[in-house]
Amino acid sequence: MSTGTADTRTTGAQAGAGAPAYAQRPGAGPGGRTAGVFWRYWTASTVSRIGDQVNAVALPLVAVVTLHASALDVGLITGAGYAAWLLIGLPAGVLVQRLPLRGTQVAMDLIRGAAVASVPTAAALGTLGLPHLVAVALVVGLASVVFDVGISTVLPSIVAKEELTARNSLLSGSSAATELAGPSLGGALVQLVGGATAILLDAVSYLVSAALLFSVRPAGAPATARPAGAGMRAQIREGWRYVTRHRVLRPAAAYAAAVNFVSGGLMTLTPLFLVRTLDAPAAAVGALMATGGLGSLIGAALTPRVVARIGGGRALCRAAVTAAAFPLLLPAAGAGWGTLVFAAGNAGFSAGVVVTGIVARTHRQTRTPPELLPRVAATVRFVSWGAIPVGALTAGAAASAWGPRTALLLFALSGAAGPAILLASPIRRMRELL
């Protein structure tokens, strides 16, 4: 399932506080050193995401099939991974600005790899339990917060401004491709070798990502510069005020929170609904979850054309309406050929969400002052991704009370809140986002 977030180049005078050191090397530019850095980051991110998608299938299936977890238990595992945004989402923007970017991201990859590798180790020793899975999800989530803020910060420093929409579309398209291949691979691996063993692929992906990032040689200066005389709280408040007072960023962040509440619920409900209601095998669960990647891939490919034709503001609003309509198909799915209804709903939802994410992320990267970008990105993700664990836990409780199908219907109906937020904001009257 897509997480639905709308979530990076500075030139000349813009390269300063908050700009990664890669942008400051002589000859940097789209065809020079920074182009190579972009492709290293792209490769590392893509490899890591393949493991993430395998893990997204394997971890809940381990809980459901091996540990016989309840709906609320699955919600706890899903929620723990994204609760990290509530815990350190705001400070992460300051940390990324203060610490060496490359070293920090390599460290986060190694932490995630070690945490994930502990699952098959515990399974082999016969000590694997629900608390262990929740702890792994939380540790991976905490490291991912810092890693993701760093990725969103570095892009504007290594990509020309006029190429940002295309590069963001490429990143989203690559993510969509991993969403398409990863769950199918994960489901097949779970069925062939078991969930705990399948999770080993995720650990390996983090090690490969760390090696790729370590091979990127930055300039001698620190990756980011700390604003003189500013403490952490003051820096956090500055980023928060910028977002909450901005006429586009504020409603866009609120929209992302609304759609991520739905996404968090779907992350919990999908394996429960497919396994316990539709009696689908693990391989089929992976394939059906992968349809979200297909929708994301289509949405990412269409975004540059749609934005060029109708403008960013209109694209954002129309894609939001699309994303809200398709989840209504999910609870109507049945067994056998009826699962195609689920596939269509999942793909349509992901396509709409990806378009809104690319448009909003590109606007934020081009309009935010470079020295504020890490904190603005962290603020937006704190608000938007912080809604995912709330949705996940709410979905687990709803499924326990009324069953997975009814819970799916309730979450599908709640998706109407997202486009309502945008249509009630100044964005509704904008052709281009200003």
Q: Give me the mean pLDDT over the 73-91 stretch.
A: 81
Indicate if the pLDDT at residue 250 is higher than 70. yes
Token readout for 271 is 């394996």
> Does the pLDDT at position 321 exceed 50?
yes
The CA distance from 48 to 196, in Å, is 18
Q: Residue 424's pLDDT band (boundaries 50, 70, 90)? A: very high
pTM passes above 0.75: no
Task: Go through the domains of the chain in sequence order and give each one's CATH number.
Answer: 17-429 (1.20.1250.20)
If one compares 132 and 164, the residue with the highest pLDDT of the two is: 132
Strand boundaries in 258-395, DSSP class E: none
Percent of the chain whose pLDDT exceeds 90: 28
Sign for the pseudo-dihedral over CA of 19, 25, 29, 35: negative
Render pLDDT for 292-301 as a digit per residue (tens, 0 to 9): 878 888 988 8
Residue 256 pLDDT class (50, 70, 90 cuts) = very high
237 pLDDT more than 70: yes
Task: State residue 353's pLDDT score.
Answer: 93
Q: Which sign, positive or negative, has the C-alpha torsion 288, 289, 295, 300?
A: negative
Whole-number pLDDT of residue 407: 94
In 3D space, the residue among 54, 189, 69 whose CA is nearest the CA of residue 134 turns out to be 69
